[in-house]
């Protein structure tokens, strides 16, 4: 077995990053893994994406979801969860999903937390306060990040995989929240145009802003000082979680093989690349401005690999 402290990363040059520069950041990080682990990630991520999109697409299309529609979607999600618990192989994807669930010793709670978050989405329009938003991130952000952190930490033996040496929920939380806050700022314009609201009401009120004004800013591109102050607040919170995420990654480094350490570094630095583009004073907060171009992403990927390989 490979020594977890080894700095050998001869796997990295084999990855063709040119094909995946526009993929989700978690997927870019997972591309550094061996084939079976990456296939498991794709199955897990696809299942979560389908649940999340089911709700977001309905919210965008219908604007206001009726009680009957909400109950129908809740039953769909809970029925799917129950089918997983019962190992009801209703289709080839479910069979593959459950196979990887058992093989990699993945707990079911991330999907349970995700469904809880989606049920919240169906029943509410936004968040009354930042605390309720943080509770929401347990499913919307920490759950998928925990699966990634679990797959980084499972250890292969001749008898199968062993569970990670750390609590995946605690390990994933700071990086997940940092990443999610970056998402919210980066996707501000797109989310507003799709009637998706992720800024909490208490922080809006503290900065004398309303939902209607947020929509107006996204449509017109005319940035008010109050909105810049709101972003400064979110940047301060994001910085708090960024620092905690950096500490966790460094702390877990000795428990992970090089390719999994590098995948975490990749995720951290790709979100950091977006974070560093946010300028509360001068930004237009457009999608085009805050989303790095593929060539920028490629440069960042190569810089992370080069820096990682130089550390002894």
Would you list the domain boundaries of the chain?
25-153+162-307
Q: What pLDDT sits at residue 13?
A: 53
- Residue 155, strand partner residues: 162
**Which residues in the chain come in under a pLDDT of 70?**
1-15, 60-63, 311-312
Q: CA–CA distance from 72 to each of 52, 79, 306 (Å)?
A: 15, 10, 50
Q: What single-letter DSSP state applies at residue 164?
A: -
**Which of 261, 254, 260, 128 is closest to 197 using CA atoms?**
128
Task: List alpha helices for the chain, DSSP H.
Answer: 25-30, 35-62, 67-85, 92-103, 109-123, 130-137, 143-153, 168-186, 188-193, 201-206, 211-220, 225-252, 258-275, 287-290, 294-310
Q: What single-letter DSSP state applies at residue 13?
A: G
Q: What single-letter DSSP state applies at residue 86?
A: T
Q: pLDDT tens, 174-231?
A: 999 999 999 999 999 999 998 889 999 999 999 999 999 999 999 999 999 999 999 9
Q: What pLDDT sits at residue 120?
A: 94
Distance CA 243, CA 245 (A): 5
**Please, what is the average pLDDT of the chain?**
91
Distance CA 249, CA 265 (A): 8
Q: What pLDDT sits at residue 22?
A: 83
CB of 267 closer than 8 Å to CB of 145: no
Q: What pLDDT sits at residue 12?
A: 56
Q: What pLDDT sits at residue 186?
A: 97
Q: How far is CA 2 from the centre of its chain?
A: 29
Distance CA 295, CA 18 (A): 9
**Which of 206, 269, 213, 202 is closest to 242 using CA atoms?**
269
Other residues' Cβ atoms within 10 Å of the Cβ of residue 243: 12
CB of 187 closer than 8 Å to CB of 287: yes
Distance CA 38, CA 151 (A): 9
157 in helix, strand or coil? strand
- The CATH T-level fold of domain 25-153+162-307 is Farnesyl Diphosphate Synthase (1.10.600)
Q: What residues contact residue 103 under an 8 Å CB cut-off, 6+ apart?
A: 40, 160, 161
Q: What single-letter DSSP state applies at residue 210?
A: -
């Amino acid at each position: 077995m490979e020594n977890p402290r080894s700095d050998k990363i001869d796997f990295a040059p084999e990855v063709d990053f040119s094909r995946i520069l526009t993929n989700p950041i978690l997927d870019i990080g997972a591309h550094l893994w061996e084939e079976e682990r990456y296939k498991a990630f794709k199955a897990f991520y696809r299942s979560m994406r389908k649940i999340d999109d089911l709700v977001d697409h309905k919210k965008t299309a219908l604007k206001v979801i009726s009680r009957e529609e909400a109950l129908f979607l809740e039953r769909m999600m809970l029925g799917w969860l129950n089918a997983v618990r019962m190992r009801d192989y209703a289709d080839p994807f479910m069979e593959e999903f459950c196979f990887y669930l058992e093989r990699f010793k993945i707990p079911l709670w991330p999907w349970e937390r995700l469904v809880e978050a989606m049920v919240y989405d169906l029943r509410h329009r936004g968040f009354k306060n930042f605390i309720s938003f943080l509770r929401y991130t347990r499913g919307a952000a920490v759950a998928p990040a925990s699966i990634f952190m679990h797959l980084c930490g499972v250890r292969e033996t001749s008898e199968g995989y062993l569970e990670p040496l750390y609590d995946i929920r605690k390990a994933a939380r700071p990086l997940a929240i940092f990443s999610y806050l970056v998402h919210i700022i980066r996707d501000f314009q797109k989310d507003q145009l799709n009637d998706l609201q992720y800024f909490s009401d208490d922080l809006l009120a503290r900065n004398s802003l309303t939902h209607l004004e947020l929509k107006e800013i996204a449509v017109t591109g005319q940035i008010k000082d109050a909105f810049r102050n709101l972003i400064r607040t979110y940047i301060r919170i994001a910085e708090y979680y960024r620092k905690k995420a950096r500490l966790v990654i460094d702390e877990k480094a000795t428990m992970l093989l090089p390719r999994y350490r590098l995948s975490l570094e990749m995720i951290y630095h790709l979100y950091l690349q977006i974070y560093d583009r946010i300028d509360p004073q001068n930004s237009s907060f457009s999608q085009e401005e805050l989303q790095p171009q593929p060539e920028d992403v490629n440069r960042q990927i190569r810089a992370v690999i080069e820096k990682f390989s130089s550390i002894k």
